Structure 1
Amino acid sequence: MKDAMQIGAIAAMGCLTPADAAVQTATTSSVGMLDPGRWEPSARFRIESIIRKSALEEAEQRFHRPYAVFDWDNTSIVNDTEEALLLYQIETLAFHIPSDKFIEVILQNVPSSTASAIPNERGKFSTFHSLAVDVSADYTALKQRFASLPPAPDELQASPRFHSFRAKLLFLYSALDETLGPNVAYPWVINLLSGYTLDGLARLAEESNDTALGDALQLAVFRSPEDAPGAAGPVKVEHRRGIRITSEIASTMHTLRANGFDVYVVSASLEPVVAVFASLPKYGYGIPREHVFGLRMEEVNGTLQPYYRRNWPLVWGPGKVQLIREQMISAKGYGPTLVFGDSDGDFEMLSQFPDTATGIIVNRLKSGKIGSLCRKAVEQSSKSGARFLLQGRNESTGLWRPEQTTLDLHVTQAKLLADKT
């Protein structure tokens, strides 16, 4: 009688059918539950039922370990660790690229005569070559001025060259992404880390993480000086500052591992940069280094080169599916049980594996392909066996919301879906 009452209560709270709720209650003491945290309740109950079902199946099959795949940026954390590192590099001038090679690096695989899809402050559409010329000139001047000692923050802030360099380099990255897409922009941005050893990069990434964790979450606006337009003209760019740990994701990762799941991270950021965050104990996620996958660069004698790794998939969109097939399915023989993501770059891995019981989407009010999955998640939220789940977030605090809706930066009204999906 008590079991029946418990099943009925769980079904009512989580919008589950009695059958789903029964799976949730039919468990041994070794099968844990998720920390409720700020989980949207029906999403949490659905995941718990999957964990319990998978744990029972694993006990019966013995050799079939289920696994979960997590995107990193804006899924496992708030905001983007690679883009936080880019800003940290700029604001500390932490580049190891010789001045005479800088323009070559930032124009590699970029059609230099192509115009940006984003206009400058004067309404003109600058070419990527003109932007690269300005950024390279600023970089050379700053490197010459601060050749012997790392620059003090107040010295940099007093330099018009620095303001031009920061705005135009960030603008160039944003313009590449907007104009040519992630297949160009994502390998491009990691090339700015060429010249680092893996140990040196790990130290830099940790410094960047710690700085960004202390920053306020904001949409910062950077402008180049109007009176020093250069070849590309004055520009303005917005860049999200600050990152946050998502405790619900970290806790879920630990619960999954405690219940027989392997846990993997598959990211469109540089793999060793993500590994610092995902694997260092101080951040709380505890992912084994060998379970972290992302973009890779060529190395020579332990030093990163400004070239993408040969025969390694571009780990975004379809490339994430390719990586999972090559690195996980080829060894295990089956796909992931759970997949977590937030953007168009996760659409394929969220939707294309027949073995996936549920895809969990962090709601960032996105349109496009991921927006279509968000809409499906809303439609399925009251149904048994939902294929997609939607988890809300407060973008101003970085905290999840215990519902599907998301509160965007500096607004007071939460929304369920993007205006256009």
Structure 2
Amino acid sequence: MNSILKNMARVSLFLAISVGAMANLDEGRWVPKNREVLDKVISESKNQGNYAVFDWDYTSIYQDTQENLFRYQIDNLRFAMTPEQFSKAIRKDIPLDNFSDDYKNVKGQAINIEKIGSDLDKDYAFLYKNYIKDKKMSLEKIKKTEQFKDFRGKLAFLYEAIGGSFSHDISYPWVLYLFEGMTVNEVKALAKEANDFGIGNKLDSYVIESSDVLTGKAGKVSHKYKSGLRTQPETANLFRELQANGIKVYIISASLQDIVEVFATDKSYGYNLEDGSVYGMRLEMNGDKYRAEYKAGYPQTQTKGKVEIIETYLKPKHGGKAPILVAGDSSGDANMLTEYKDTKVLLLMKREGKLDDVAKDGRALIQKRNAQTGLLDPKN
């Protein structure tokens, strides 16, 4: 009897080592059903050369790292462009048409890139001469000038107006062009600063207005923005559990690749992905400095471009397989969420009014979050 029990123990140990224990996600704040399904998919798909694909902004984190960085860059005047380079960058590929009706000035008058661009040119020339280039004034002092107030209000507004008026292939790369003249290391350091600021900042909304004095050609503008960033411990744990079971995790993001890499790989944020796991927007380079030009021959990593990344870069690494899990939150992720019949789970980090059609797919898991805290909502 003892020998039989010993043999059974050896067999059990062998099976545990060779097959591995069942996946066991932390309970966290997952909707219980979602955690159960994710555990099951990991257990069924482990150690078979599979992989999972996640969006980053509003999916793997709460809120948007690129937008948080953009406004941090403005508030701290972290630019390396000459006035001539700035003038060219803000106009790059932008149609001359008036912005949509949602993006008029406070008097209800139409605005276009030439009107607001003219005002920004004047503001930036002043800021470049007195702070960006020569630091003739302190940051604290220059922030009190009308030129800074106008610049801050109008550049932030311009980003929103472009996104709300023109196609994704125009609006998504535009914000990246403002890194022209900066090195990769400078932008990564700036991203770390901005991430830390955003994580420490309240989740809220606030209004930025341009100058009442320097109204210029565009007039005074005003717009509401979101503040704050939050990490998602449950998502970080999901990454770890997937990879511990031989399922590679990739990020495909419409933010600049180098920026997302900071968030996804720096251990201070807890996601701990390996180098080479992130695919995002890329720019042409002058040596180690960014140019205001999108990378030739490389897909824009939004909408259909996310599928192109999977087809070109990921499937060849995994024997032509489709991802077993795809996670997203918005229309920019819809193509990769719906492209592959072999994908087992569509993890929707649901936001109101987004991906409602995809949510009807039988493979969809709906996971909502608390807008006040950024935490997952276990009750949905």
TM-score calculated relative to the size of structure 1: 0.82
Deviation at 1:225, TM superposition (A): 2.0
Q: Identify unmatched segments of 5+ residues in structure 1.
A: 1-26, 59-63, 378-385, 405-421
Superposed, 1:368-383 pairs within 5 Å as 370-374=355-359, 376=360
Is 2:96 the counterpart of 1:112? Answer: yes
1:142 matched to 2:127: yes
Letter in 1 for 2:326: V
Q: 1:150 to 1:52 in 2, by over 3 A?
A: farther
1:361 matched to 2:375: no
CA separation in 2, counterparts of 1:283 and 1:139? 34
Say whether residues 1:193 and 2:179 are aligned partners.
Answer: yes
Whether the 8 Å contact between 1:343 and 1:366 is mirrored in structure 2 is no
> Is the 1:116–1:127 contact (alpha carbons within 8 Å) kept by the matching residues of 2?
no
Q: Which has the higher contact order (CA 8 A, sep 6+)?
A: 2
Answering whether residue 373 of structure 2 is matched by residue 397 of structure 1, we say yes
Shift of 1:155: 2.1
Please say if 1:84 is aligned against 2:52: no
1:88-116 alpha-carbon deviations (Å, 9 max, x no partner): 11011000111122111110111134434
Q: How does 1:11-90 map to 2 (within 5 A)?
A: 30-55=21-46, 58=47, 64-90=48-74
SS of 1:371's equivalent? coil
Within the alignment, does 1:309 sit opposite 2:304 as a pair?
no
AA aligned to 1:123 is G
Partner amino acid for 1:50? V
Q: Would you identify which runs of 4 or more consecutive aligned residues in structure 1 move more than 6 Å?
A: none
What amino acid is aligned across from residue 30 of structure 2 in structure 1? W
Paired residue for 2:335? 348
Aligned partners of 1:194 and 1:304 also within 8 Å: yes
Deviation, 1:330, is 2.6
1:400 partner letter: L
Alpha carbons 2:153, 2:211 under 8 Å: kept: no
**Deviations 1:286-334 (Å, cap 9, x if unpaired)?**
1112010000000121111100000000110111011111001133211
Q: Determine the structure 1 residue equivalent to 2:257.
A: 271
Deviation at 1:181, TM superposition (A): 2.8
Structure 1 pair 357–127 and aligned structure 2 pair: CA distance change class (3 A): same
Check if 1:179 corresponds to 2:165: yes
Residue 215 (structure 1) shift: 0.9
Aligned-pair CA distance for 1:348: 0.7
Asked whether the equivalents of residues 116 and 128 of structure 1 are also in contact (C-alpha less than 8 Å), the reply is: no
| Letter of the 1:77 counterpart | I
User: For 1:167-212, what per-residue CA distance to the aligned partner results, in whole angstroms no more than 9, with x for missing partners?
Assistant: 1111111011010032111111000011111111111111111111
Q: Report the 3-state secondary structure (helix = DSSP H, G, I; strand = E; otherwise coil) of the residue aligned with 1:390.
A: strand
Percentage of matched positions with identical amino acids: 34
Q: Secondary structure at the match of 1:110?
A: coil
Secondary structure in structure 1 of the residue aligned to 2:88: helix
Aligned to 2:231: 245
- Amino acid of the structure 2 residue aligned with 1:364: R
**Cα distance in 1 for residues equivalent to 2:155 and 2:174:** 12
CA offset digits 1:374-393 (Å, max 9, x no partner): 3x16xxxxxxxx41011010
Q: Give yes or no for contact 2:98–2:110 (8 Å, CA) kept in 1.
A: no
> Structure 2: which amino acid aligns with 1:233?
G
In 2, Cα distance between the equivalents of 1:328 and 1:204? 29
Structure 2: which amino acid aligns with 1:391? Q
Higher mean C-alpha displacement, 335-344 vs 133-142: 133-142
Are the aligned partners of 2:146 and 2:213 in contact in 1 as well (CA < 8 Å)? no
TM-score normalised by structure 2 residue count = 0.91
Letter in 1 for 2:150: S
Aligned to 2:9: none
- Show CA shifts across 1:199-234 (max 9, x none): 111111111111111111111210112332111111
Q: Which residue identity is paired with 2:268?
A: K
Q: Confirm or deny: 8 A CA contact 1:31 1:259 kept in the other structure.
A: no
Measured in 2, the distance between the counterparts of 1:116 and 1:306 equals 25
Q: Equivalent residue of 1:129, what SS? A: helix
For 2:175, the aligned partner's letter is V
> Runs of 5+ in structure 2 lacking a partner?
1-17
Q: Which amino acid aligns with 1:339?
A: V
Q: Which amino acid aligns with 2:376?
A: W
Equivalent of residue 285 in structure 1, options 256, 261, 271: 271
The residue aligned with 1:326 is 312
Amino acid paired to 1:142: L
| 1:33 aligned counterpart, secondary structure | coil
- The answer to whether the 8 A contact 2:23-2:40 is kept is no
Map of 2:81 onto structure 1: 97
Cα RMSD of the aligned pairs, angstroms, is 1.6
Q: Please point out which of 198, 205, 208 is paired with 1:212.
A: 198
Q: Structure 1: how far apart are the matches of 2:300 and 2:263?
A: 21
Match of 1:158 among 130, 144, 150: 144
